Amino acid sequence: MILSTPGFVLHTTPYGESSVVAKVFTRQLGLQSYIIKGVRGPRGRVKQNLLQPLSCLDMVVYDSPRSELHHVRELSARHPVPPPDPVDNALRFFMTEVLYRSLREDEPMPDLWDYVECGEPAERRDVPLRFMLAVARHLGIEPLDNRTPREPYFSLEEGRYVGLPDDTTLPAGLSALMHAYLSAELPPVCSAAERASLLDALIAYYQLHLSGFHNFHSHEILHTILR
């Protein structure tokens, strides 16, 4: 079956002499694997900048329910390629890795796809935290914002606020910051170190609640450039 779908490039692997296998988060079909020919080599027909992390494509693909590896008939950039910017590049790489390690094959998630395409207004320093919380909501693992004076500690294991601290709870200050991001439309006032600690906590949260979410590294550069 031939169909048209937009998609975000999440990962590419060399295949054969001039092709790649691309993991693409499509709107209609969810995460899929595609052979894209004519990418590598001096005579490549497909420009490699089309396949950068989180590149958004309009695609015409061959879809077969019996195959795990599909073919692309046509592809083109859905949006103009943005000019190079080190901070934006690091943010795109981070968001790509979150999606790549979170999504499962053949599970359409059009609402999440629309969120990734449209985004939400936020300062760049707040994008990683807001993105992880939004993706968690679409995946059904959103932290429960039930914080009260009697339950002030956020439990990474339980995904909710609890009354007594233990090895899986965040400190009181970091728990309060989590609540601020969960409940407020405006970003809370906090330091770069506090945002970095909360981002590390959210990555640990994902690792507890999603199988396969491991070897995550792209946040490390964000701790350096988002100050």
More confident residue, 107 or 111: 111
pLDDT digits (tens, 9 = 90+) for 163-205: 999 999 999 999 999 999 999 767 788 898 999 999 999 999 9
User: Which of 56, 77, 98 is where one domain is finished?
Assistant: 77
CB atoms within 10 A of CB 74: 11
Q: In angstroms, rounded to a whole number, what is the distance separating the alpha carbons of residues 162 and 146?
A: 9
Give residue for tokens 């420009």: 47
Residues 150 and 178 in one domain: yes
More confident residue, 40 or 35: 35
CATH number for the domain spanning 169: value is 1.20.1440.120
User: Which of 35, 54, 77 is where one domain is finished?
Assistant: 77
pLDDT digits (tens, 9 = 90+) for 42-63: 666 777 778 999 999 999 998 8
Instruction: Answer for the pair 131, 122: CB distance below 8 angstroms, yes or no.
Output: no
Give residue 44's pLDDT: 64
CB atoms within 10 A of CB 84: 7
More confident residue, 108 or 119: 108
Write out the residue range of the structural domain in which residue 57 sits.
Answer: 2-77
Element spanning 115, H or E: helix 110-118
Give residue 40's pLDDT: 73
Within 13 A of 74's CA, how many CA atoms are on the CB side? Answer: 8
Give residue 16's pLDDT: 83
| Mean pLDDT to the nearest integer, 114-140 | 92
